Structure 1
């Protein structure tokens, strides 16, 4: 089971967090600080698995971001690396060569994609095309709702004249 997902920039700024195990807010901040210090100080040629407080942190650096997942020690680290890569590939296809700014300005899309891939810390969808189809459908629904809201506000504005 994945306990949490962290996306951390090389400067140590958190870009995305998703918690599948409940942690109090104070402990979340402490965990983020510890994981950031642990991952950011490791050399590029070292293993992508780190033992941490009875768990295992699996991470992978893509461009300026570290994608980190905390798993149970008995879980498969290579499968977790595949899940990270799967997530990055879907982000790449959706944003067209995803970068840190895409995640900053479209964090809701990054969360939505992550929620389509993982549920309760377990892999839900491994088909990239299915996830992208769901995301584009969601985008179409949002655009339709915006257009409807815009037309309603125009009707209300004309009615109040």
Structure 2
């Protein structure tokens, strides 16, 4: 199994084994044991898990807030985001994350601004597609 797939599997197994009453901060999975500067932080919403693997310099509560903003943006874009939305609308997920984080830095947490930027990008994509098809 590829190292990336093994890491995903190990993180998944750690996260789904936990109850909602347990802490959202995990010790790294076995594949990352040699990296003592890594933390796994997650939030569980309905049927979805949002997991961030970050270094020790990141604030745990800051990452939880970042996940909250990310989920609120996705809920705004998809009107109560579901797994199918993320599978078939992955471009929106990617655009939302790019509006929030760039170059490893959080650049915006305003849900209204992030949604407006995604909406504007969608409008531009639609208009450029129409011009391509109908000249």
The structure whose residues are more often strand, as a share, is: 1
What is the number of residues matched between the two proteins?
Answer: 128
Rounded to whole Å, the distance in 1 between the matches of 2:117 and 2:53 is 26
* Superimposed CA distance per residue, residues 99-128 of structure 1 (whole angstroms, 9 cap, x where no aligned partner): 111111101111111111111332111111
Higher RCO, 1 vs 2 (CA within 8 Å, ≥6 residues apart): 1
Aligned to 2:116: 133
The Cα RMSD (Å) is: 1.5
The structure whose residues are more often helix, as a share, is: 2
Structure 1 stretches lacking a partner, 5+ long: 1-24, 153-161
TM-score, normalising length: structure 1: 0.75
Structure 2 stretches lacking a partner, 5+ long: none
TM-score, normalising length: structure 2: 0.88
Rounded to whole Å, the distance in 1 between the matches of 2:121 and 2:77 is 13
